[in-house]
Amino acid sequence: MSSGFNRPDGRQASRLRPVTFERRFTRYAEGSVLVSFGDTRVLCNASVEENVPSFMRGEGRGWVTAEYSMLPRATQTRSPREATRGKVGGRTHEIQRLIGRSLRAVVDLAAFGERTIQIDCDVLQADGGTRTASITGAYVALVDAVSGLLDRGLIARSPLREGVAAVSVGLVEGQPLLDLNYEEDFRAAVDMNFVITSSGRFVEVQGTAEEHPFTLQELDALRDLALGGCRELDRLQRQALGL
């Protein structure tokens, strides 16, 4: 594999973009985090609702779900709001279901009764990796919402089993790279997203070869980059939460 590709921002192949979490970004949500992966910025709000979907009523379990949207001018050109088109697009459906699955993978739903934690992820600015930033920020917002339930005595124990984070990887000019920005993602021959728990277990792996199939050696290299990236994201999440 070639090592001659120079990243636009000068990062090493195994380095994340600067990642920050600004907690309590909005006033009213039980958990609110502005997460930044470089120039990608996503507002993640967690709301606690005292009900569950109809198919879960009477089971004594809670639910965690997510919605995702991109503001009209989050990208270089304005995209109409999906509400004006009368339906949510397939990409949006895919991403918000991914966020929900990722969070539920680390939650004991029986531990917080018949209530729902609704996560809203709104992309304010997109420069690649919006779904991975959404998952990583949503977990921090979820922790704050759960902490509020514990502080108010509404639940007896934390339903969070462990942390979860997500990161993109890809092959650009034969070079495995971590945490692609938009320019790198656009040029990538292979693009993958990994969702990984703090214990190093995989929740989801999404990968596509754009032109030519990739080898097992290349897959292993991308996996190892993702594992290292999510370990660092877990450290940054804990640091932001004061854990």
Between 71 and 130, whose confidence is greater? Answer: 130
**Beta pairing partners, 166:** 195
**According to the model, what pLDDT value does residue 4 have?**
64
**According to the model, what pLDDT value does residue 54 have?**
87
pTM of the complete model: 0.94
Q: For the chain, give the number of residues.
A: 243
Token code pair at residue 228? 């290292």
**DSSP class of 59:** S
Give 91's pLDDT tier (boundaries 50, 70, 90). confident
The 10s digit of each residue's pLDDT in 43-72 is 999 999 999 988 888 888 999 999 999 988
DSSP the chain: ----PPPTT---TTPPPPEEEEES-SSSSSEEEEEEETTEEEEEEEEEES---GGGTTS---EEEEEEEE-TTSSSS----HHHHTS--HHHHHHHHHHHHHHHTTB-GGGG-S-EEEEEEEEEE-SS-HHHHHHHHHHHHHHHHHHHHHHTTS-SS--B-S-EEEEEEEEETTEEEES--HHHHHH-SEEEEEEEETTS-EEEEEEEESSSPPPHHHHHHHHHHHHHHHHHHHHHHHHHHT-
**According to the model, what pLDDT value does residue 240 have?**
98
